[in-house]
């Protein structure tokens, strides 16, 4: 009969070390690879786009929901009236450029209506936020 050497029973922490290694690795991966952003009030699915103008640090972000309503901060408003609110919120000077996060399923006319209202309020340039990919 062949006899094998009995493996000595391992102590508990020794078997846990590979697990800890992997978990640490994952932890460091998420620390380095991810970016943390403050969450918006409303979640929108951004439309896909190909161009990037790299506009950053815009004073205000308007969010257009899929049903066409517009959010500025924690206030919800009609697309037609948003220009007035932006003016009130930022003053004449602060609102030359604003960012617009529109849902990809939002009606295009709501976005256009919003941009027209913004022009009347003195906003010269609107930055539409898109997701990379085409």
Partner 1 sequence: MFEEPVRRRGMASLTPLIDVVFLLLIFFMLTTSFLQTQSLAVVTPAPSADELPTDARVIEIWLLGDETIAIDGQPVARDVLAESLKQAIGERTDLTVTILAEKGSKTQALIAAIEAARQSGAKSVGTARVERIAR
Residues that bind partner 1 (CB under 8 A): 11, 13, 16, 19-20, 23-24, 26-27, 30-31, 33-37, 46-56, 64, 97, 99, 102-109, 111-113, 115-116, 118-120, 123-132, 134
Length of the chain: 134
DSSP code string of 59-94: S-EEEE-TTS-EEETTEEE-GGGHHHHHHHHHHHHH
Rank residues 4 and 56 by Cβ distance to partner 1 and give the closer one.
56
Distance CA 52, CA 49 (A): 8
Order of strands, sheet of 97-102, starting from the edge strand that comes earlier in the sequence: 75-77, 70-72, 61-64, 97-102
Q: What are phi and psi of 113, to 5 degrees?
A: -60, -40
- Two tokens at 7? 């493996």
């Amino acid at each position: 009969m062949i006899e094998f050497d009995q493996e000595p029973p391992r102590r508990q922490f020794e078997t846990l070390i590979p697990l800890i290694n992997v978990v640490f690795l994952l932890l460091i991966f998420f620390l380095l690879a991810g970016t943390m952003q403050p969450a918006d009030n409303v979640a929108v699915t951004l439309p896909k786009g190909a161009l990037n103008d790299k506009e950053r640090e815009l004073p205000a972000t308007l969010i257009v929901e899929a049903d066409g309503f517009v959010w500025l901060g924690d206030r919800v408003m009609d697309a037609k009236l948003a220009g007035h609110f932006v003016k009130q919120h930022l003053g004449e000077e602060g609102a030359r450029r604003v960012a617009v996060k529109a849902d990809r399923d939002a009606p295009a006319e709501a976005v256009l209506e919003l941009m027209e209202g913004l022009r009347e309020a003195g906003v010269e340039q609107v930055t539409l936020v898109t997701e990379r990919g085409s």
